[in-house]
């Protein structure tokens, strides 16, 4: 049964959009339309931004702890409806149930909790010499979020923005919009004042670009492809608004000589295939010393095959064909196929499923080693010296994430310091939602999560006493 969402959330109420056009939402497991959402127009963006602008003075003047108290209500309501939320995310973008519950919903709950706590601990004012330095909200925020983590990417932006005192207009991805609609139902029930949080839907070229050029939007926070991020920056530059970008990646997982291959390689496969490889920080390049290559390839192929039943489909047909095209390209360019391939998995005649794929004998100039694939495709590249490993790891326009496995923590940390990337896992170190997340180079600018994520939404004013 198809669910028709026929309203958007503006100024504290669900309201009809200016257009009757809609966008189909397709379940990637069944290839069937499960929902429709409005295709908004720039007029809808104007209304949402106007509501956010009206609400800003009152919200900015509200004490941070009161702002956080409303966010805490929303967090608690989300926890109560977590099963419903997980099911919508699975229907939208295909995440298996365990992943939808544990990561797609569990992580946003943790992130919201971190900002609720941070509101009390953050140094909103400080004395520096003869000056009082105060931190104030940047203003109206336009948030453009992707489909791969459809709730997490909203909470990464909305949580710190509202705690900072900003008002916000969110454009969720049209490919996976149902989580946003449910979350805004939750925000409404939590009692946020009219205009503080607003939701529009539609495509990037229509709605996203209208937000980026809008003169009353003070900041754009965008997560998505590097190509689209460059377009957002270009449009936003006309009004010199603040722009925070979290973009693509081609992250290297460097396994140093002496590291525990039996742990490092399977963990690296997991880091490449999380969310069916549809993760900007996926560890898609595994760098292994040439002496360790045969065993590493064997371990990776075994791990990939074992993970086949735990992966969901890719988000849509376009992504499905794109990833299969990259697999074919890897074969054509001479990489050795160690596991997987371009064919559908056995028994998966319906749904956008791709075999978890491992390539060995990959060279740094191959397409699969240079371009972001956004699917379950791992490239294993050999190296002969640590200097060569460093060069290969950094030889990319991206710099979002990475990993290093070494014989000791000290050796791994020493190598990690040489990587031009925003975060590095050390010997399997776990993701930390309080640590800054963001990239170097064409992986973007600015940081999300924790104190650094909050600071993105604040201006700094000096009062000379």
pLDDT of amino acid 1: 80
Number of CB atoms found within 10 A of residue 334's CB: 11
Buried b vs exposed e over 265-290: b needs ≥16 C-beta within 10 Å?
A: bbbbbebbbbbbbbbbbbbbbbbbbe
**CATH superfamily, region 3-247+443-464:** Aldehyde Dehydrogenase; Chain A, domain 1 (3.40.605.10)
**Cβ 146 vs Cβ 245: under 8 Å:** no
The reported pLDDT for the residue numbered 348 is 87
Task: Output the pLDDT for position 415.
Answer: 98
> Which element (helix H / strand E) includes 245?
strand 242-246
Q: How many Cβ atoms from other residues are within 10 Å of residue 41's Cβ?
A: 18
- From residue 327, how far is each of 287, 318, 401 by CA, in Å? 19, 15, 23
pLDDT tens sequence for the chain (465 residues) = 899 999 999 999 999 999 999 999 999 999 999 999 999 999 999 999 999 999 999 999 999 999 999 999 999 999 999 999 999 999 999 999 999 999 999 999 999 999 999 999 999 999 999 999 999 999 999 999 999 999 999 999 999 999 999 999 999 999 999 999 999 999 999 999 999 999 999 999 999 999 999 999 999 999 999 999 999 999 999 999 999 999 999 999 999 999 999 999 999 999 999 999 999 999 999 999 999 999 999 999 999 999 998 999 999 999 999 999 999 999 999 999 999 999 999 888 899 999 999 999 999 999 999 999 999 999 999 999 999 999 999 999 999 999 999 999 999 999 999 999 999 999 999 999 999 999 999 999 999 999 999 999 999 999 999
Domain ranges of the chain: 3-247+443-464, 252-438
Burial class (CB in 10 A: 0-12, 13-18, 19+), 418: middle
| Cα–Cα distance for residue pair 416/434, rounded to 1 Å | 20
Q: Which of 101, 174, 209, 246 is catalytic?
A: 246
Counts for the chain of helices (H) and strands (E), in that order: 16, 21
Question: Residue 79: helix, strand or coil by DSSP?
Answer: helix
Contact 368, 379 (CB under 8 A): yes
3-247+443-464 and 252-438 share one CATH topology?
A: no
Concerning whether 40 is annotated as a catalytic residue, the answer is no
- pLDDT at site 285: 98
pTM of the full predicted structure? 0.96
Q: Which of 230, 287, 246, 222 is nearest to 400 (CA)?
A: 246
- 128 Cβ contact list (under 8 Å, min separation 6): 462
DSSP-assigned states of every residue in 137-166: E--EEEEE--SSSTTHHHHHHHHHHHHHT-
Length of the chain: 465
CATH architecture, domain 252-438: 3-Layer(aba) Sandwich (3.40)
Extended strands (E) in 342-417: 357-360, 377-383, 402-405
Tell me, yes or no, if 136 is annotated catalytic.
Answer: no
101, 166, 280, 372: the active-site residue: 280
């Amino acid at each position: 049964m198809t669910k028709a969402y026929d309203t958007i959330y503006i100024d504290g109420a669900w309201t009809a959009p200016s257009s009757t056009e809609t966008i189909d939402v397709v379940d990637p497991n069944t290839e069937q339309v499960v929902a429709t959402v409005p295709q908004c127009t720039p007029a809808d963006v104007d209304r949402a931004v106007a509501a956010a602008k009206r609400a800003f003075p009152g919200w900015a003047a509200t004490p941070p702890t009161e702002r956080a108290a409303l966010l805490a209500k929303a967090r608690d309501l989300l926890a109560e409806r977590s099963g419903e939320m997980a099911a919508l995310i699975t229907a939208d973008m295909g995440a298996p149930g365990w992943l939808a519950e544990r990561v797609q919903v569990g992580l946003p709950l943790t992130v919201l909790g971190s900002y609720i706590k941070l509101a009390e601990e953050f140094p909103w004012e400080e004395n520096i010499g003869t000056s009082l330095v105060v931190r104030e909200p940047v203003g109206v925020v336009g948030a453009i979020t992707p489909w791969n983590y459809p709730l997490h990417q909203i909470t990464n932006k909305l949580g710190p923005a509202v705690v900072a005192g900003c008002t916000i207009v969110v454009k969720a991805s049209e490919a996976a919009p149902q989580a946003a609609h449910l979350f805004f139902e939750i925000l409404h029930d939590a009692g946020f004042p009219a205009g503080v949080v607003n939701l529009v839907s539609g495509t990037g070229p229509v709605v996203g670009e209208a937000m980026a050029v809008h003169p009353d939007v003070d900041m754009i926070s965008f997560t998505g492809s590097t190509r689209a991020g460059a377009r957002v920056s270009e449009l936003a530059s006309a009004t010199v608004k603040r722009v925070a970008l979290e973009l693509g990646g081609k992250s290297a997982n460097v396994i140093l000589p002496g590291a525990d291959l039996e742990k490092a390689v399977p963990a690296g496969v997991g880091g490449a295939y999380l969310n069916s490889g549809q993760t900007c920080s996926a560890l898609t390049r595994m760098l292994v010393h040439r002496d360790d290559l045969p065993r590493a390839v064997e371990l990776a192929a075994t791990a990939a095959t074992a993970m086949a039943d735990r992966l969901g489909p890719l988000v849509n047909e376009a992504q499905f064909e794109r990833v299969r095209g990259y697999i074919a390209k890897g074969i054509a360019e001479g990489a050795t196929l160690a596991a997987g391939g371009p064919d559908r998995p056995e028994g998966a005649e319906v749904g956008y499923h791709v075999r978890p794929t491992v390539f060995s004998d990959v060279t740094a100039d191959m397409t699969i080693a240079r371009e972001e694939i956004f699917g379950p495709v791992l490239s294993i590249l050999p190296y002969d010296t640590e200097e060569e490993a460093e060069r290969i790891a950094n030889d990319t326009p991206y710099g979002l994430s990475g990993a290093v496995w070494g014989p000791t923590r000290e050796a791994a940390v020493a190598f990690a310091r040489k990587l031009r990337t925003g975060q590095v896992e050390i010997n399997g170190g776990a993701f930390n939602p309080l640590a800054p997340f963001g990239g170097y180079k064409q992986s973007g600018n600015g940081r999300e999560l924790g104190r650094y994520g909050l600071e993105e939404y604040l201006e700094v004013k000096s009062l000379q006493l």
